[in-house]
Amino acid sequence: MSIIDKPSDYFNTVLWSGDNVDGRAITTGLETNWTWAKRRNATNGFIIADSVRGATYKLDSSTTNAEVNNYDGGHLESFTSTGFTMGVGSGDFGHLNASGGTYVAWNWKAGTSFTNDASATGIGTLDSSGSVNTDAGFSIVSYTGAGGNQTIKHGLSTTPSIIICKLRSGAGDWTMFVSVLGNTKFMRLNSTNAVGTQSTYWNDTSPTSSVFTVGSAGDVNTSGGTHIAYCFAEKQGYSKFGSYTGNGNANDGTFVYTGFAPAFVMAKRTDSTSQWCMVDNKRPGYNIAVNTIFANSSEVEATDLGVNLLSNGFKEDTTNNLGASGGSYIYMAFAENPFVTSTGVPATAR
């Protein structure tokens, strides 16, 4: 397995302050295909946009709402080869460039378009299309549901560990497949709920290197409904998706080995209700990373949690949300640097 020496070619976090200028360009440092953004200092919802649906089409991980096209003008206007551009608007929901606003955006690169006519190729039972980056193990997949049990080409050359599905054309939960939980389980990104068990989401079937399976649940397979799925496969030195158990020690919490210096970690307790906690290497830019945004909530950025982002993993530094004694947690992490590059250069702690 090859090591990704420069993870920022595929994932990067950017921060900015709003200036209310229409057409403002934000440089992410990569050809951006998926952006997940939020105002940090106000109770605005998220703006989730991708190049498959189109930059102006917004979803919000803190709600069950259907997709909206350019709700008030304060959304992304376009994706570029180095980032994205933004508009301005009069409403306060989802504004990305208001004067006085501070913002964060997490950005991923896919980049290679694909389409699959299932009846012609024999791959899957539903047609799909999207954008994929097999080097980084990331794909964006658009499909139309048909009800019943179906299979869908995801475009990756390996089996995804995380799949996040959302109904675009109507209200529905953000439903997640997480491989370490098993194919009978599901999580909801927009909810604090613990892990659930339900066969109608994944038909108790794990993804393969070519397709993932959806059951009859409307959140993942509404007949005639349009859906989007974000699929992630682990890549050495770049991404890791796993689980850990909290030890209840606020000053010496559980260490989680990832094999790289994390640039982004999202973690959630699975055996009890809790927030989806999101930290990164830019907020505040040094340890302890106490600036936390909750994927399931529009609330203002919290500054009372704690995660240490280390050269080879992360270590939770508080029992609040992230490290209760005996608590079961899942996480997804993306790299700032591999622990050791393909040329033998080690990463250093912050």
Residues in Cβ contact with 61 at an 8 Å cutoff, skipping those fewer than 6 apart: 36, 46, 48, 174, 189, 190, 295, 296
At 305 the pLDDT is 82
At 92 the pLDDT is 46
Over 90: is that where the pLDDT of 347 sits?
A: no
- The tens digit of pLDDT for each residue in 328-338 reads 999 999 999 87
> Which of 161-175, 239-253, 316-330 is least confident?
316-330
At 316 the pLDDT is 87
Mean pLDDT, range 234-242, rounded to an integer: 96
Over 60: is that where the pLDDT of 142 sits?
A: yes
Over 70: is that where the pLDDT of 280 sits?
A: yes
Structure tokens at 250: 């606020």
- With the C-alpha atoms ordered 23, 24, 28, 29, is the resulting torsion angle positive or negative? positive
- The tens digit of pLDDT for each residue in 216-230 reads 999 999 999 999 999
- The tens digit of pLDDT for each residue in 162-217 reads 999 999 999 999 999 999 999 999 999 999 999 999 999 999 999 999 999 999 99
Among residues 302, 306, 286, 304, the alpha carbon closest in space to that of 294 is found at 302
Backbone φ and ψ for 246, nearest 5 degrees, come out as -70, 150
At 70 the pLDDT is 77
- The tens digit of pLDDT for each residue in 289-300 reads 889 999 999 999
